[in-house]
Amino acid sequence: MGKGSRNRELRISEDQATANSGVKLSKKQLIKQQEKKAKIKKYITMIASLVIIIGLVVAIVVVSLNKAPKLEATVSATSEKYEINNAMMAYFMYGQYHSYVNQYYYYLSMLGLDTSKSLKTQTMYGGETSWYAYFMNMAKTQVNELVALATEAQKKGYQLDEEDIADIDEYMASIKTAAIANGYSSVNKYLAATYVTGVTESAVKSCLELQQLASKYYADLLESYEYTDEEIAKYVEDNPESFYKFDYIYYTFTAEYEDDATEAEIKQALADAKAKAEDLLSKITDEKTFRELINELEKAKAEEEAKESAESGTGDDSSDTEKDYSESFIKEGSSYSKDDEFSAWAFEDERKAGDTTVIEVKDSNGDATGYTVYLLQKPAYKDDYLTQNVRHILFTTTTFGSEEEAKAEAEKILAEFKKGDMTEDAFAELAKKYSEDNAEDGGLYEEVLKDYMVEEFNDWIFDEDRKAGDVDIVETTYGAHIMYYVGTGREAWKVNSETGLKNEEYEEYITELEKTYPVTYDNEKLTLIP
């Protein structure tokens, strides 16, 4: 949330994070989901643009290695303390590309992006901007932020410590492992296939060092932001569209007329639709009657359609008389919309469950198309459920080779845990020793929101019968998790509000910081990147 919405790759995409662990936010060197003591979730990573996936679904046109451009030898971006060469820019750019493809893979053809062709030869949505320029601009946005943060970090005395360097070395080693697993004779050939020819080990390491330093400062910066309960509540009221929801039932009457209808015919069709809506409204006494009336209308439609199908020889004249059609017209958790007439009506102070109204439906041009009858099931509300605190120890199928082996290892370590005093501290120590996710924090995730983790993980921690100290094994597509339930956190809306406040404050800060430490780009040199 927050008003700033720039595509900042410091904040790792959900798809990237999920691809690397059994939860949607994972290892420290990638990201921290939520800070202890109700601190903001860290949407930052030292390797945000590196996606190592066995058998990549994207295809990149790779330039022959014999004709590889010397990308590292060409400095294309400079700032007060940093020089970024083309190999590094290519890493950031194609990292953005991979992230986009992973997120929108099933829609690429509709978007006009062909992963088998050069990005330079394709334009976005059939327009004038090439996909190459689009991803390059995203890379520039990322570099601007990284450089600004890292420069300020240096001036404040930040530097990479032994743990930071070890994290980077560990990840560089994982690249080598991925290269071998994919059958490449060298890391550079693997990087060429994953990104573009000219991206090298040394370039990637330089990028990781820049990202890690920026990440350290970013994390401390956000931790320094603190807000009162009053400020958190005010942020919600100032941004209702981000927090308030409604539950309602609706039914729409669309004006019916031919394509060549006159203005008078259209006007009459709208009047007929309005009359039907108002007639339906007059018959509603409560939610039960509304649903019954919807069923009557929809069953009549179904019977008519079945009759027409039978007469045309395309089907029979039977219809499903037992079906509850009204279920399709129930909306739960619909978000408040500032410019929506229904939202404005539903948000009025006097509004209560069972209230009804008729509202005109308009198309994108503002022209009326029909009328909708609404019944409010639940007036405006915030997510007031309690977030959850949990620890887990993850054994991935990648490491152990199969679901069975991962679970067997989880059962082994769980048995070890049960031999001791079964305290949270004891579990945390085992997590530090064995977990493949968030080990440095003892596998702890605080103030977890609903649907934030993978389904099985989420269902376990939000089980109504869950109590502090519960331990169990949960299996997901990523492996086996030994779970330890810690307890509840704050209400969801408070967590989200604080996150919004911190993101908003950060956006204002980074905007000014980027002005203080600008990055100058040589666009002609950037065109040398394949």
CB 33 within 8 A of CB 20: no
At 208-219, the pLDDT tens digits run 999 999 999 999
pLDDT band at 69 (very low <50, low <70, confident <90, very high): low
Residue 67 has pLDDT above 50, yes or no: no
Q: What pLDDT sits at residue 20?
A: 33
Number of other residues whose CB lies within 10 A of the CB of residue 306: 16
Residue 6 has pLDDT above 60, yes or no: no
Q: What is the pTM of this model?
A: 0.74
pLDDT band at 318 (very low <50, low <70, confident <90, very high): low
Angle at 280 between CA 276 and CA 282, to 5 degrees: 120
At 48-58, the pLDDT tens digits run 333 333 333 34
pLDDT band at 459 (very low <50, low <70, confident <90, very high): very high
Q: Per DSSP, what are the bridge partners of residue 85? A: 75
Mean pLDDT is lowest, of 48-52, 60-64, 122-126, for 48-52
Q: How far apart are CA 373 and CA 274, in angstroms?
A: 10
CB 490 within 8 A of CB 36: no
Which residues 6+ apart lie within 8 Å of 1 measured at CB? 239, 242, 496, 497, 499, 500, 503
At 271-304, the pLDDT tens digits run 999 999 999 999 999 999 999 999 999 999 988 8
pLDDT band at 8 (very low <50, low <70, confident <90, very high): very low
